[in-house]
Copies of this chain bind each other. A is one copy, B any other.
Amino acid sequence: MPAIYPVILCGGSGARLWPVSRKAVPKPFLPLVSKETLFEQAVRRVASDDRFAPPIVIAGAAHADLITAQLGDAPGARLVIEPAARNTAPAIALAAALLPEDAVMLVCPSDHHIADAPAFRAAALDAAALAREDYLVSFGITAERPETGYGYLRRGAPVSGGYAIREFVEKPDLARAEAYVASGEYCWNGGIFAFRAGQLLAELAAHRPEMARLVRAAVNDGITDGLNFHPAAQPFIAIDGDSIDYAVMENTTRAAMVPASMGWSDIGNWAALGDALADQADAAGNVVCGTADLSQCSGVFVMSDGPRISAVGLQDVCIVVCGNEVLITTRDGAQAVGKLPGAVHQ
């Protein structure tokens, strides 16, 4: 059985985790859930297992040094340095164009948390088997609650150890999300994929021919520097960026999914990080990273890089202190943090 090629995407800015996540050191490169960074966890999740090849990491030049440092001595890891951010479809296509066309690629965001790595690897093997049959495969994450911040996949007919995808659904409102969870037919779209490289490029050529042409040109004219690859800037910058879901998954007739129940979170905002650390909560559901005195508080998440936090009477609030910035948001407001002036004007 040929190895699976992990492709680790490092494009996210993590603006909703400001002020800890900042442009210089964004979310993937921070030790949020454990002492390892999310990126280090993403690499380690598929390391030391010969069913997986060394990873291909796709990132911008601004983070190349961080990535090199955090890869450490990971053997054979390659780094593709994007000349500009053009969303996930071009990034994934770059990796596909650098791989043998029959290679199966496993596309993973670098800024998610997965508590159960063996379950992840098992789902990856199922997904790879489907990808070898030229399905374009999404991980369908078990929807544990009516989350309104995620996209959903609706399960269709069984195919070869997985399911066809019957429908892609954008972030729903609460009533709809509750109905999805109750139905049992819907999963979260976790942004994790498996493709045969040649099939992905063929589908991209069919649905986004200009993007496919420009990616191919960027690879053809690119420069290899040891384990690093620099796509040619001019064609890549000319790409009209799009997500892999919009560019390919929602257009192909061969979209499939594998179910995955693996303690997944996209750590999409401070409330989500608090949830991912729930095993550290006190009896009132407060989670503290740093020094805090909480009185009459419940559901409070605190992260401080130094100052003591003292709080009285708060419920369902996230408090984050980092450098010269103090952020306080309700759980419900956490999604809006990325639009605060501090997060926007970094």
Contacts and interface: CB of A to CB of B under 8 A. Distances in A.
Given A293-B341, A296-B336, A333-B295, A328 B306 contact: no
A333 B313 CA distance: 5
A336 B295 contact: yes
A66 interface: no
B329 A307 contact: no
A308 B337 contact: no
A83 B24 CA distance: 56
Contact of A296 (B312, B325, B333, B341): B333
A313 B332 contact: yes
Given A311-B328, A313-B329, A314-B330, 9 more contacts: A295-B340, A307-B321, A308-B325, A310-B340, A311-B327, A312-B329, A314-B333, A319-B328, A321-B326
Contacts of A304: 326
A165 interface: no
A12 interface: no
A342 interface: yes
Contact of A342 (B308, B314, B317, B343): B308
A47 interface: no
A183 interface: no
Contacts of A324: 306-308
Contacts of A19: 310
28 contacts: A19-B310, A293-B341, A295-B333, A295-B339, A295-B340, A296-B333, A296-B336, A304-B326, A307-B321, A307-B325, A307-B326, A308-B324, A308-B325, A308-B326, A308-B342, A309-B328, A310-B328, A310-B340, A310-B343, A311-B327, A311-B328, A313-B330, A313-B333, A314-B329, A314-B333, A317-B328, A319-B328, A321-B326
A336 B312 contact: yes
Nearest to A292: B326
> How many copies of the shown chain assemble into the complex?
2
A20 to B, nearest CB: 12
A334 interface: yes
A254 B337 CA distance: 61
Nearest to A270: B312
Nearest to A296: B333
Contacts of A312: 328-330, 333-334, 336-337, 340
Nearest 6 A/B pairs, CB to CB: A313-B333, A312-B333, A313-B330, A312-B329, A311-B328, A310-B340
Contacts of A321: 307, 326
A2 B308 CA distance: 53
B307 A342 contact: no
Given A314-B317, A317-B314, A309 B296 contact: no
A336 B313 CA distance: 9
A239 B296 CA distance: 37
Nearest to A319: B328
A330 B313 CA distance: 6
Contact of A310 (B306, B327, B334): B327
